[in-house]
Chain A
Amino acid sequence: MKSHIYNDIRNSRTFRTARKIVLPLYLAILMVVLLFLVVLNNSELILYSFIAFAFIGIVLSRDYRNAGMALVSSTIIISVSSIFYYSVNATRGSLILQNIGIVGYYLLISSIIALLIRLAHDSTAPKLGSLFDPLRKFWKKSNSVVVPALGFLGIAILLLPIWPLGMHIHTSLMPYIPVIIYQISHTYNSSQYILNLDLSKYPTLINPQRSNMLLYIDGNVTDVSVIGSAPKLYNMTLLISTKAKISNRTNMRLYITSYSTGFNNYTKTIQHYDSAASSRIYALAGNLTNVGKNITITERYYGLATVDRVSYANFSTVPYYELNNVCLPGTSHHVSINYSAISPESLFIFRNDSAMADTVLADTYQKNYGYYVGRFANNSLAHVINSTSGTISAPYTGTCLDYAFVLQNGQTTTVRISSEYTVNTTMIWNATVPAAIASQKEYFYGDYGFLPSGLSYLYEYYMGYHNIYSSN
């Protein structure tokens, strides 16, 4: 009975008509869907969508003509998108075109897969041809059930709310610096506030452009600008533009991200502002909260940096010292060397390279701790003698500061070096923040909706902005 009804359906005029158009319709819908998925430039989605194109290749292998047309179409897509990519100035357009190009490549792959399968199938070697018997059967069946089903599936995918609306931030999870407001002076009916903050506790988190922070006021992201062209962390002045009334009960938070938040104009630096019309907020930066994992920071610092270095000196043989240096680019070098060890040792820093060279070159290899301490002390700029811990801070000229540890026995010394310098170049350094901040996945979530909202997401995604509006 069941098969009888099934046959009736299959033989009906409607179904026969649908059968003829469903394959092209399916392919068209699949192309559109995959096009939109692909333009996300979410590389994982691109990878997954390749499976669909591989399947298209199998479908196309029915006929050389189909495969050939697909090949020609793919080259046209690649060519046109390449040409327009280079002529379109607008970033949005060119980025979209770049992502359309990938569809061309995928279609190229599909057509080659189709040709491969077809050629192998037509091979005169009987063994090779028989491998494709199941495929022949599939071809016979495909028009009846599978392809229409896939077509309907494609339409369903088109209509479901799968379009990403952008990234949103889990503000309750993300690390932030609480801003503790003491008082606000000169409260006017102005929407501008000046905020001075000392963020010197967080040198490794904030990038040199000072652009990876988001300011939230009472749970809402707020427009801020940095005042001054080279803001120091210990004296950062922010210009806040907000309609919200700020009081000392306002909840203000600085969230740290791993990329620029240019959408909020945070990188804009203001040289002049109307201080008379702006209220001044006196505040403190609190302790960083919600910090994730603790890892060693890769050194790429610009400004203030701290390096933890464990040194082990094997001094069972002469000489009794470990010679080292700190080298920094730029000018205005200031270095602070702190050490700690189990047994007492001595630390020396040298005025310049000549002083260091004179010291080491005059070595006569005496097995005597006191001898080295005395000789190094004579030539050093500053020293800590015979202590289990100590700190020396000094400015220095030149590129490198030489220092030496003199030990009585081999031991592990923990050395911590802080340095500050100014570089007057046009170099652009990429700042990295700890993985605790950088692993954004746990702090962001994607919101999805229907298709039409996708293009604005695409625009913002490629412009480097993230649509971090709402908080939960």
Chain B
Amino acid sequence: MSEPEVRAGKRILRSDILLPGLLLLVVLVVIFALYFNFSFSFGKDQAIPVYQFQSTIDSGLYAWQQMEYTGMAGILSGLPVFALSLFNLALYSLFGIKIAFILDATFYWIGALGLYLLLNELFAWRKSKALKAIFFMISILFIMNFGFTRASLTLEPGMIFLPYLLLFAYRTARACNLVGSGVPTASRYSDASLLSLSLAAVIMFNLGSIIQTTIFFALMALAFLLLSGGAKIAKLKCYLFSLVLAIAMSTPAIASSYLLLYRSGQASYIFGQASQNILAQNSLGIFQSIFGFISDMVSNIVSLAVGSLFIIVSAAGTYLLFTNKNQRNNGLKPVFVGLWSSYIVLIFLGSAFNGPFGALFSLMLKAFNQLSVLRYPSTNLHYLFVFMIFTLFGISLALLHNHIYDTKKKHLRYLFSAFCLVIFVSYIFQFLYVPYVNSSSQTGPNSLFNVQHIPAYVLNISNYINSQPGNFSVAVLPMAASWQSTTWYVGVNVYASLLEHPTYTGAWTVYNEVFFPVSAYEYWAAGQELSTSNTTSIDFSRILGTFGIKYIIVQGDAVNYPYLGVCCKTAQFTFNTIYRNINNSSGMVLVRRFNNSSVYENLNAVPLVYASNLQNIGNAQYQSIMSVIGSKGFDIRNISVYSEQSIGLFNSTRKIVARNITGFAEPSMSFKIDTPTKTTVNIRNATAPFYLVFRETYDPGWEAFYANGTRIDSAYHIQVNGFANAWYVNKTGSYSITIYYTPQTTGWGSMLISIAAFAAAAWIVYLGFGKHRAPRRPNKRIR
């Protein structure tokens, strides 16, 4: 790069990126600090901390999620998610901040900056401070929309990269126009690489909506390809290049999604479940999508009116754009058409948003069940709409601004400024005015606008349990996890986030429980019975102990959710019943009382890995297995229950008929959890065969290997206790066995591809950055 080019590049970096980025960060901090009274930044409560801290570290790297009940196969997100997990880790190490909110806030900032850069790029031909101010205002509103919505960004953070997706698609389209103009290839492909990085970021962070995002990208690309001038073939090459690179970067996510769906043959089941959910959602509320509300929570005229303003202004801007004879804005036309087209398609697919238009999709589902891959619940893809509306709106405001200023009528300019101010104020106002959580939907005083601090006793309970050694699980009673309410907290059970152990919260989930382990259902059933009926015949300590539940937290501040039974098939509980049932279980001991909550220890909790004998109870259903386990006096530590009927989604063909071992003698055993997908077990002085029980959810991907690498035949890998893995080991002496989740190998391989693709993309971006930014100047040589 030449000296002027470097300086030009640095200047642009400073004024167009760093300065607005810094300003937006300041705005973000001020908004959230003022609004939430600094409580967000310092470890106190926030809306929905969804995942445990540990799982955010593991989730990017490991194909098995240990923290979900007795574990389940997870989707590998790849390197970027892991990098973000490191960010979380750094926050915790340096500041003791253990929540995901800081990461969320960072995402908001990234997205807002992206929107600002996009809007500036689209109007790069007109340098105007007024325009920059408008775009800055739009970015602030964008931050607010994300920051004030209930759905946490940890659900679908990939959407925050959408402005970059559009930005680099636009730049790629322009760069690929410059065929044969002397611009080096690197600059054209550097934008395409940036595009691929954005697309990969959207895919990897947004796994629930890969297909919808792909539709969005495809429509964008189509608009740019077909509707703008220039060399179509060159553009096509650029887009294909970016698509291939993005897919390569996203290999872990795609590979593990495929494994998850098709390895166990559950694809049709998933589609069936998904289509059922679609039919239940049918509400009108286009502007709910703008504000990211769940459909039953907003019925406020103010919000709708503000949203209407947005969309009508966007329409007016489109009108201006297309009817203006000025050729300067021709590059925007494909952008608009692409955005509106995507918008319509996504509303159509999102039947949760707008019936009956959106509900037409549910009609098509009846005929073509496979279309259910395209459906999404209302909370998940509202970001797409947010992005589209804000982009459309921002461009439209700029077009209106240009139109008015070109007429040179001062009174119109003042009117326009006043109009922008009204929009800005009313948008902010509707956040303050609308109670976020409709009081009829949930009990308690909680709403996003009444952020509650976590009581000290909750933190004390969490700290106490986290300080206990060993590998165990924790159960919460009465069952919470968003369908019960405490007097102070509404949302996913806070213990699920604060505890560093798998926490059984026992909610009845709707469509996505197809991925949940059997233990989730069983805990729901057992917890129901524990909470609602005086049962004397079942020993709950043994049933819970089978899942490794060592501690039970009885939340003394829980109240019954008034809509139970209607939505969630859960009956009303009473504390008397809970305490009576717990006290009747011989293995439950009260450990401590924390304010109005109690912690019980379950003496019958089994370890993660142990050796046991086995009882074959025939071709029994799941409830029978649990009845046997729950019978008083049953030794769950030394006997595992086996049914010839397989439970769950994996069938059990070509398996041994497991039987009780006569002369069973338990060997000495110790184990070490190396990673979430690998555990090493040391067996000493085994004198007889035994069943090696591994208390994670049964999955054919788990395999056991001897130290010399010999695999224990899969015929000896059976399911016991209705959910767990067990291997029949017929070897005496002392040796070690490694239990390994084999899809992890695929995960590492795909991670390598991802890293290589990412490195290639970064390298091309670097090659083209300086050259692309500043125009080439002819070398002036004095001959």
Contact = CB atoms under 8 A, between A and B. Distances in A.
Interface string B299-337: 111001101100110111011101100000000011011
A404 B618 CA distance: 10
Contacts of B323: 64-65, 68
A223 interface: no
Interface in A423-457: 425-428
A318 B311 CA distance: 70
B316 A72 contact: yes
A115 interface: yes
Interface string B277-288: 000000011110
Interface string A60-92: 000011011101101110111111011100000
Nearest to A72: B315
Contacts of B300: 86
A321 interface: yes
Nearest to B305: A83
A47 interface: yes
Nearest to A356: B627
A119 interface: yes
B624 A79 contact: no
Contacts of A101: 284, 354, 357
A99 B229 CA distance: 40
A399 interface: yes
A119 B229 contact: no
Contacts of B660: 365
Given A82-B308, A115-B337, A325-B623, A72 B319 contact: yes
A80 B229 CA distance: 38
B535 A398 contact: yes
Interface stretch (B184-192, B423-431, B563-571): B563-571
Contacts of A128: 226
B356 interface: yes
A236 interface: no
Contact of A360 (B535, B566, B569, B618): B618
B311 A64 contact: no
B214 interface: no
Interface residues of B, number: 67
B604 to A, nearest CB: 15
A98 B301 contact: no
A78 to B, nearest CB: 6
Nearest to A327: B623
A124 B628 CA distance: 77
Contacts of A322: 618-620
Contact of A78 (B286, B334, B537): B286
Contacts of A47: 360, 363
Contact of A72 (B312, B354, B359, B535): B312
A69 B319 contact: yes
A399 B571 contact: no
Interface string A318-342: 1101111101000000000000000
Contacts of A81: 284
Contact of B226 (A44, A72, A123): A123
A23 interface: no
A99 B627 CA distance: 53
A82 B286 contact: yes
A108 B284 contact: no
Contact of B537 (A87, A108, A352): A352
A404 B620 CA distance: 9
Contact of A71 (B286, B319, B356, B632): B319
B659 interface: yes
B571 A120 contact: no
Given A79-B312, A101-B354, A119-B227, A109 B344 contact: yes
A147 interface: no
Q: Taking each of B315, B565, B621, B628, which has the highest tally of chain A beta carbons within 10 Å of its own beta carbon?
A: B315
A353 interface: yes
Contacts of A357: 627-628, 631, 634
A199 interface: no
A92 B550 CA distance: 56
Interface in A117-141: 118-120, 123-125, 128
B382 to A, nearest CB: 15
A99 B356 contact: yes
B566 A428 contact: yes
Contact of B229 (A125, A321, A358): A125
A116 interface: yes
A466 B301 CA distance: 33
Interface residues of A, number: 72
A315 to B, nearest CB: 9
Contacts of A79: 304, 307-308, 311-312
B315 A86 contact: no
B111 interface: no
A46 interface: yes
B611 to A, nearest CB: 19
Contacts of B623: 325, 327, 400
B616 interface: yes
B529 interface: yes
Contacts of B315: 71-72, 74-76
A83 B301 contact: yes
Contact of B359 (A43, A106, A361): A43
A324 B312 contact: no
B358 to A, nearest CB: 9
A165 interface: no
A399 B533 CA distance: 10
Nearest to A311: B619
A72 B392 CA distance: 13
B355 interface: yes
B322 A67 contact: yes
Interface in A29-57: 41, 43-44, 46-47
A38 B311 CA distance: 23
Contact of B311 (A75, A106, A354, A398): A75
Given A76-B312, A319-B616, A398-B535, A356 B305 contact: no
B480 interface: no
Contacts of A105: 344, 347, 354, 357
A101 B353 CA distance: 12
Contacts of B566: 426-428
B537 A361 contact: no
Contact of B529 (A76, A314, A399, A426): A399
B341 A112 contact: yes
B624 A425 contact: no
A323 B630 contact: no
Contacts of B286: 78, 82
A80 B312 CA distance: 11
Contact of B284 (A82, A319, A360): A82
A402 interface: yes
Contacts of A125: 229, 232
Nearest to A119: B227
A101 B284 CA distance: 9
A353 B536 CA distance: 10
A313 interface: yes
Given A82-B286, A108-B344, A123-B229, A41 B356 contact: yes
A85 B307 CA distance: 14
Given A75-B311, A128-B226, A323-B621, 10 more contacts: A46-B360, A68-B319, A72-B318, A79-B311, A82-B287, A325-B627, A356-B624, A357-B627, A357-B631, A363-B616
20 contacts: A47-B363, A67-B322, A69-B319, A72-B315, A75-B308, A75-B314, A82-B285, A82-B286, A83-B305, A115-B337, A319-B616, A322-B618, A323-B624, A324-B621, A352-B537, A354-B631, A356-B624, A357-B634, A361-B634, A425-B565
Interface of A: 41, 43-44, 46-47, 64-65, 67-69, 71-72, 74-76, 78-83, 85-87, 98-99, 101-102, 105-106, 108-109, 112, 115-116, 118-120, 123-125, 128, 313-314, 317-319, 321-325, 327, 352-354, 356-358, 360-361, 363, 365, 398-400, 402, 404, 425-428
The 7 closest A-B pairs by CB, nearest first: A79-B308, A68-B319, A357-B631, A353-B627, A75-B315, A427-B565, A64-B322
